Amino acid sequence: MPGDVLNAETVRPSPLYEKVGQESVRCKVCERRCVIAPGKRGACGTRANIRGSLYTLNYGNLSALESRPIEIKPFFHLWPGSTAMTFSTWSCNFPCPWCQNWHLSRALPEPGKDKYVPPERVVELALGAGDEGVCASFNEPLMEFEYTLELFKMAKERGLYTTYVSNGYMTLEALDMLVKVGLDGLKVDIKGDERVYREVLGGRVEIPWRNAEKALKMGVHVEIVYLMVTGLSDGEEVVEDVVENHLKHVGEATPLHVLRYFPAYKYSAPPTPLERIEWAWKYARKQGIKYVYVGNVRGHPGENTYCPRCGKPVIKRLGPYVVDYKLEKGHRCPYCGEIIEIRGEYVRKNPSWLAII
Q: So what's the pLDDT on residue 349?
A: 78
Return the DSSP state at 167.
-
Return the DSSP state at 116.
P
Cα–Cα dist 116/242, whole Å: 39
Element (H, E) at 188: strand 185-190
Residue 353 has pLDDT above 70, yes or no: no
Residue 7 has pLDDT above 70, yes or no: yes
> Which residues fall within 8 angstroms of residue 205, CB to CB, at 6 or more apart?
190, 191, 192, 193, 194, 196, 197, 198, 245
**pLDDT tens column, 68-109:** 999 999 999 999 999 999 999 999 999 999 999 999 999 999
At the fourth CATH level, the homologous superfamily of domain 64-305+339-355 is Aldolase class I (3.20.20.70)
- pTM score of the predicted model: 0.96
Q: Decide if 249 contacts 209 (C-beta within 8 A).
A: yes
Nearest to 65 by CA among 131, 7, 10, 113: 131
Residue 224 has pLDDT above 80, yes or no: yes
**pLDDT tens column, 142-196:** 999 999 999 999 999 999 999 999 999 999 999 999 999 999 999 999 999 999 9
Spell out a b/e string for 268-306, using b for 16 or more CB atoms within 10 Å of the CB, else e.
eeeebeeebbbbbbebbbeeebbbbbbbbbeebebbbbb
Q: What is the mean pLDDT of the chain?
A: 96
Which of left, alpha, beta for 330 (phi over 0: left; psi -120 to 50: alpha)?
A: left
Q: So what's the pLDDT on residue 357?
A: 59
Domain chopping of the chain, boundaries: 5-56, 64-305+339-355
